[in-house]
Amino acid sequence: MGYAEQRFNVNLSILFTELPLVERPAAAAAAGFTAVELWWPWVDSPTPERSELDALKKAIEDAGVQLTGLNFYAGQLPGPDRGALSIPGEESEKFRANVDVAADFAQSLGCKALNALYGNRVEDVDPAEQDALALQNLSLAAHAADRIGAILLIEALNRRESPLYPLVSAPAAVGIVDKVNEATGLGNARFLMDLYHLSMNGEALPSLIERYAARTGHVQIADNPGRGAPGTGTLPLEDLLDQLGKAGYEGWVGLEYKPGDRPSAEAFEWLPREARAAR
């Protein structure tokens, strides 16, 4: 298969960040892409003003791109936070306040995938208490996703960059997927396979693909080392995506890498322009 047969979208929370938020969808379209994804853009607000939501929605629609993935509120990203839903108190309350806001925004743009970052371990809080809270909030998120015909994504990060995040392996994340599906009976929780994070954990990517491709709802890529564009590191990303395709994965591949010391528009030379538009 190779890159030409993939369906790529651009993560506008890590690429084109040199531009204001509402200018990024048009910039992605100008670079030849027809689909985008986003972390929750308002890091300090799970419930932004309607005018802010409407402005972003209009920017996406005017650019003619499709929103294919959206994170629920997860705190300060990029930054020290790694989610909110398992953190007792104010952060988990913010997550719950955000669930329907994010789902409704996704529905307004036809987005069918919502990502819920688990959250860091907190000092002096029993991990079992955090896990119980996480299951409650993930179940709430799964029901919100089901209401709009979407899937709920659960992601593993890497222990080097996120040492307090408990889901730092593919089996750990898939285990939570299973718990959520069992708790809700909806079956709409899926694994988000981020090849950069999994490689940073030292996991054998071909084996993970063979084992979990059928459980995967979304894929994200960046090269390693450096979290740059494909070709800047040593990961055989084209071969890995080819293996995913042969294993039956037909979903989106999110470009979630850093552009480096250059404008984001110049960070796509590895991908022919004719391969950027989703087919």
207-217 pLDDT, tens digit each:
999 999 999 99
Q: Which of 23, 52, 91, 256 is catalytic?
A: 256
pLDDT computed for residue 4 by the predictor = 81
Looking at the predicted structure, is the pLDDT value of residue 275 above 70? yes
pLDDT computed for residue 264 by the predictor = 98
Residues in the chain: 279
- Percentage of the chain beyond pLDDT 90 is 96
Whichever domain contains 8, its CATH number is 3.20.20.150
Task: Please tell me the distance from the alpha carbon of residue 180 to that of residue 224, in angstroms, as a whole number.
Answer: 31
Burial of 279 (0-12, 13-18, 19+ CB in 10 A): exposed
Q: Which of 155, 203, 238, 250 is catalytic?
A: 155
**pTM across the whole model:** 0.97
Active site residue 256: yes
95-147 pLDDT, tens digit each:
999 999 999 999 999 999 999 999 999 999 999 999 999 999 999 999 999 99
pLDDT computed for residue 78 by the predictor = 84
3-class DSSP state for residue 6? Answer: coil
Lowest model confidence (mean pLDDT) among 1-10, 85-94, 212-221: 1-10
**Which of 130, 260, 115, 222 has the alpha carbon at shortest distance from 177?**
115
pLDDT computed for residue 222 by the predictor = 98
* CA-to-CA dists, residue 156 to 150, 178, 193, angstroms: 20, 14, 7
Active site residue 49: no
| Residue 72: φ, ψ to 5° | -70, 165
Residue 265 contacts residue 26 (beta carbons within 8 Å): no
17-56 pLDDT, tens digit each:
999 999 999 999 999 999 999 999 999 999 999 999 999 9
> How many other CB atoms are there within 10 angstroms of residue 51's CB atom?
8
Q: How many domains does the chain have?
A: 1
pLDDT confidence bin for 79, thresholds 50/70/90: confident
Per the structure block, which two tokens stand in for 257?
Answer: 């890498």
Range of the domain at 187: 3-275
Q: Which residues pair with 220 in a beta bridge?
A: 194, 254
225-250 pLDDT, tens digit each:
999 999 999 999 999 999 999 999 99
pLDDT confidence bin for 5, thresholds 50/70/90: confident
* CA-to-CA dists, residue 158 to 66, 72, 155, 190, 194, angstroms: 29, 20, 10, 18, 10
pLDDT computed for residue 1 by the predictor = 54
3-class DSSP state for residue 89? Answer: coil
Q: Which residues pair with 191 in a beta bridge?
A: 154, 216
To the nearest whole number, what is the mean pLDDT of the chain? 97
